[in-house]
Amino acid sequence: MSLEKPTPDTATEVGVTEDGLDYDALADLLGGHVLDREEHVNAEGFVIRPDEVQEVLSTLKNEAGFDHCACVTAQEYDDRYESIYHLRKFDDPTQELSVVVPTTKDDPHSESAARVYDTADWHEREAYDLVGIDYDDHPDLRRILLPETWQGHPLSQDYNQDQPQIVTLRENANPLEEDHRSEDDPDTMFVNIGPHHPATHGVLHVKTVLDGEQIADIEPDIGYLHRCEEQMCQQGTYRHQIMPYPDRWDYVSAGILNEWAYARAAEDLADIEVPEYAQVIRTMSAELCRIAAHMLALGTFALDVFGDFTAIFQYAFRDREVVQNILEDLTGQRLMFNYLRLGGVAWDLPEPREEFFEKTRDFLDDLPHKLEEYHDLITGNEIFQMRCVDTGVLSEEMVKQYGATGPVARGSGVDYDLRRDDPYGYYDELDWNVVTEEGGDNFSRVLVRMREVEESARIIEQCVDLLEQWPEDEREIQANVPRTLRPDPDEEIYRAVEGAKGELGIYIRSDGTDKPARFKIRSPCFSNLQTLPEMSQGEYVPDMVASLGSLDIVLGEVDR
Amino acid sequence: MQSAPLPETLANLVGLDPNSTPVMIVMSLVGAALIGTLMMTNTALAGPWAKRKITAAFTDRIAVDRIGPYGLFIIVADAVRLLSKELIVPDGVDRPAWDLAPLVIASSALLGFAVIPMGSGIHLADPEVGLAYVFATASIASVGLVMAGYASNNKYSFLGGLRAVAQNVAYEIPLILTGASVVIFAGSLQMSEIVAAQQQALIGPIPSWYAFVNPFAFVLFMIANLAEVGRNPFDIPEAPTEIVAGYQTEYSSVYFVLIYLGEFIHIFLGGAIIATIFLGGPAGPGPASLGIVWFLVKIWGVFLFTQWARSAVPRVRIDQLIEIGWKGMLVLSLANLLLTAVIVGVIA
């Protein structure tokens, strides 16, 4: 079957057995470093000392093959702080391990993992910002989402959530103030690109040092769209109140993909079985969302390269509109779908079903022709190739270091797609391919997205066939789920789905109530954006803008 | 075909002596006002309305259609809107350079029309160095762009101004060299002579317009002209997604209108030059009095071409632009000039 992944050579990796991970072997590898072993729903957690983080993680990375630090979750308990490093493998993301690092309450110091995994840099800054753990040996431990002058750490226990804080522009790091040249190089010029700039796809602030028109130094500054999503989810009940939020992370069109991330994590946490029929509907609607999201990515990327609202942008939006209409028929909404439920979906396909199937099929039939038109307009255009081939190059090594996922990783030849590698929904029953390109440049990332649209169309086509033939009396859209969900106390889970931008993961810790004690979102855009300096150092401003466009970030998901 | 320049015609029309200097000064001013009004009317039509409609047609949209027939009254609405906006003068701008720049940009392009024969007797002046004069006035706009970029006290404006200079220097040389190859054909810099030289038939019904005589030069000139007027793929000095709006970032209200006016007039001036030296000026079927119609059709054709490029072609990068200019266009235009000189020398 096409879904087979080329088997990697894992013989040298410690702990790999025929049927998954042998945690005892991994514990032996780490020896005395492992103080305790915890049982999380997705993997085992090894508890280690806060001053041995780098040693343990490099051992796991180099000898056990954990090359993907998916996420860093920080949280505060009554008696301690805790950082959890969710490790996985790019070759097989079902091989997971959580490294749990507790620190004392009065002096929360923990060694930074940023020297081992580059991606930990931003993740630990976020943990410091929101929870308040100090990471020693961190290259640049500053707040990342909140302003520099913010008082307290919002997700810590003694934080007064009722006390409003207003940070004026003057108090905040004033972007206008740094109107100076870099001191060590008098020939450079400092430019603020954003937060209000035509090319930043939202409120992203890129601090740029220019040498002529070339980029000498660049630092993305995020947090302008931080809306306390994690904290809001912690205040909602599992059953109904959390589901509307995911739509608002990647708000451009990937709603159902985001909802699925929460649905998957919560269903696995509470042990809910989703009926097959509902899984097919989920798969179909998620892929529709992916097409809409990729069309938008394509259109806005063209906007960045063409420099205006040109033909290709409008064509992409025209065709995305058709998808939006289908999704509106299905869910009743155009962007904030709120369609998935724990254990199923909100409602069945719209009646008359034939009309819906016909509409979807019409769209799928038109798609190849439209994609051809796109190829004529952009990928076949020589100026476009001149601009995109070999610009914004991201090596496979860097992708893994920064935990980049989704089309960004696949554009650099990293064959990583959770739909196939960590199957959920109905994906493993269907016939489709994971698209990869080897170039690692802006052009490859565009090509990956365009080809993924074709693959999504294949998936939808098969789903439509399945749904059409589904016997009428077996159309079960919702499993039996208790009105109030109270997962067992102290269950922990990290689960991810393949969102439009990459690995969208959710970490939930339950405390026996009907609300999560900790809700952590692993945003693919957040990790992907971290690669921007790597891609654009030494390139021209237009290439940086193109690279930013090809990363396809949505600030709602970066800042959460 | 060749009627007397406009001031003389006007003087004869009102019955004054065309040989007296004061009369000619007054009549020249009246003529200039007429031509200026004509071109401004074109721009008013192009800016708020035609540009929107054309781009919309290219990009599968409808564009303005609410006010008046085909949305035409949007021109009035836009004029009111733009003129009633607040003129924001940012801190630290370098006045009066900042105030003068929009004027320089808008007026320099208008100057060029003085020597363009538009047919139907609309031709303000016909100096012997007409073509050189047009190129010279068109280049003044670069000064305006640098003034705007430098005086705005904004880094994006500054980058835009620098880009504008780099681009204009790189593309004006091929532009003028290609124009010079036409001069070799026509044997004169005088606009009326250049137009007159294109009136015979080349083969059958095809006139000997220089676009048909030397298509290679025509293509070169069209490309260089795109760069000269700063339209895709060469809209580097404004490059919205890179440097916000380039040299015009800090301009609002009337100054903004002036800059845009300048840009559109510049596009039309480019079209007028192309029409005159490559497309036979006001020549076309029908009586000679229809000349102005054909002339306008031609310059609108060029305008349409720039809008097409804008809708469908990506923008090149600044270093690629300079490379294309110096390594490609310059070499090709020199080759074209040499070849033309040799061919004309052999034939003549």
Task: Tally the domains of chain A.
Answer: 2
Using DSSP bridges, classify how beta strands A214-221 and A340-341 pair: parallel, antiparallel or unpaired. unpaired
Query: Is A70 a residue whose pLDDT tops 80?
Result: yes
Q: Helix B291-312 vs helix B253-278: angle between axes, to the nearest 10 degrees?
A: 110
Structural domain includes residue B233: yes
Query: Among A310, A312, A443, A548, which would you mutate to test the B interface (most chain B Cβ atoms within 10 Å of its Cβ)?
Result: A310
Chain B residues interacting with chain A (CB cutoff of 8 angstroms): 58-61, 155-156, 159, 232-233, 235, 239-244, 310-320
For B16-63, write each residue's pLDDT tens digit: 777 778 878 888 888 888 888 888 888 888 888 888 888 888 888 888
Structural domain includes residue B102: yes
What distance in Å separates the CA atoms of residue A43 and residue A98, rounded to the nearest whole number? Answer: 7
Structural domain includes residue A122: yes
Q: Which residue of A has its CA nearest to B307?
A: A310
Q: Which residue has the tokens 């909802």?
A: A259
Structural domain includes residue A551: yes
Of B241, B243, B318, the CB nearest to A303: B241
- Residue, of A281 and B344, whose pLDDT is higher: A281
Q: Are residues A241 and A156 in the same domain?
A: no
Of B58, B60, B235, the CB nearest to A318: B60
pLDDT at position B88 is 86
Structural domain includes residue A372: yes
Q: Are residues A537 and A467 in the same domain?
A: yes
Q: What backbone torsions phi and psi does residue A205 show, to the nearest 5 degrees?
A: -115, 120
Structural domain includes residue A198: no
For A423-467, write each residue's pLDDT tens digit: 888 888 888 888 888 888 889 998 999 999 999 999 999 999 988
Structure tokens at B42: 């074109």
Structural domain includes residue B1: no
Query: Is B143 a residue whose pLDDT tops 50?
Result: yes
Query: Among B55, B162, B317, which would you mutate to test the A interface (most chain A Cβ atoms within 10 Å of its Cβ)?
Result: B317
Query: Is A477 a residue whose pLDDT tops 80?
Result: yes
pTM: 0.84
Q: How far is B19 from chain A (nearest CA, A)?
A: 53
- Across chain A, mean pLDDT equals 85
What distance in Å separates the CA atoms of residue B246 and residue A542, rounded to the nearest whole number? Answer: 13
Contact B310 A308 (CB under 8 A): yes
Q: Are residues A123 and A250 in the same domain?
A: no
Amino acid B226 reads: L
Q: Are residues A45 and A138 in the same domain?
A: yes
Task: Tally the domains of chain B.
Answer: 1
- Residue, of A256 and A25, whose pLDDT is higher: A256
pLDDT at position A459 is 92
Q: Are residues A392 and A507 in the same domain?
A: yes
Query: Is A7 a residue whose pLDDT tops 60?
Result: no
Count CA within 13 A, CB hemisphere, residue A315.
21
Q: How far is B159 from chain A (nearest CA, A)?
A: 8
Q: Which residues of A touch B239 (CB under 8 A)?
A: 307, 542
Structural domain includes residue A223: no
Structure tokens at A540: 């021209």
Q: Are residues A257 and A378 in the same domain?
A: yes
Structural domain includes residue B80: yes
Q: How far is B148 from chain A (nearest CA, A)?
A: 19
- Residue, of A121 and B230, whose pLDDT is higher: A121
CB of B328 closer than 8 Å to CB of B224? no
Structural domain includes residue A330: yes
The domain boundary, picked from A155, A174, A193, lies at A174
Q: How many CB atoms lie within 10 A of CB A75?
A: 23
Query: Is A5 a residue whose pLDDT tops 70?
Result: no
Across B115-125, average pLDDT: 80
Across A175-189, average pLDDT: 61
pLDDT at position B2 is 42
The domain boundary, picked from A111, A140, A174, lies at A174
* B171 Cα distance to chain centroid: 14
What distance in Å separates the CA atoms of residue A438 and residue A444, rounded to the nearest whole number? Answer: 7
The domain boundary, picked from A132, A159, A174, lies at A174
Q: Which residue has the tokens 């075909």?
A: B1
Structural domain includes residue A182: no
* A66 Cα distance to chain centroid: 19
CATH number at residue A471: 1.10.645.10
Structural domain includes residue A188: no
Q: How confident is the model at residue B64 (pLDDT cuts 50, 70, 90)?
A: confident
Q: What is the dihedral of CA B196, B202, B206, B212, to 10 degrees?
A: -80
Q: Are residues A265 and A349 in the same domain?
A: yes
Q: Are residues A403 and A539 in the same domain?
A: yes
CB of A248 closer than 8 Å to CB of A306? no
Domain that holds residue B182: 6-347
Q: Which residues of A touch B312 (CB under 8 A)?
A: 310-311, 377
Q: How confident is the model at residue A185 (pLDDT cuts 50, 70, 90)?
A: low
Q: Which residue of A has its CA nearest to B239?
A: A307
Q: Are residues A122 and A234 in the same domain?
A: no
pLDDT at position A4 is 59
What distance in Å separates the CA atoms of residue A455 and residue A357, rounded to the nearest whole number? Answer: 18
Query: Is B286 a residue whose pLDDT tops 80?
Result: no
Q: How confident is the model at residue A260 (pLDDT cuts 50, 70, 90)?
A: very high
Q: Are residues A435 and A555 in the same domain?
A: yes
Q: Are residues A234 and A170 in the same domain?
A: no
Structural domain includes residue B28: yes
Q: Are residues A543 and A429 in the same domain?
A: yes
Q: Which residues of B touch A302 (CB under 8 A)?
A: 314
Query: Among A189, A298, A370, A383, which would you mutate to test the B interface (most chain B Cβ atoms within 10 Å of its Cβ)?
Result: A383
Contact A387 B317 (CB under 8 A): yes
Domain that holds residue A445: 229-559
Structural domain includes residue B258: yes
User: Whose CA is closest to B106, among B270, B261, B271?
Assistant: B261
DSSP assignment string, A141-158? ---SSS-TT--S-TTSTT
Q: How confident is the model at residue A175 (pLDDT cuts 50, 70, 90)?
A: low
Contact A542 B318 (CB under 8 A): yes
For A198-233, write each residue's pLDDT tens digit: 776 778 888 888 887 888 888 888 888 888 888 888
Contact B59 A313 (CB under 8 A): yes
Across B274-286, average pLDDT: 83
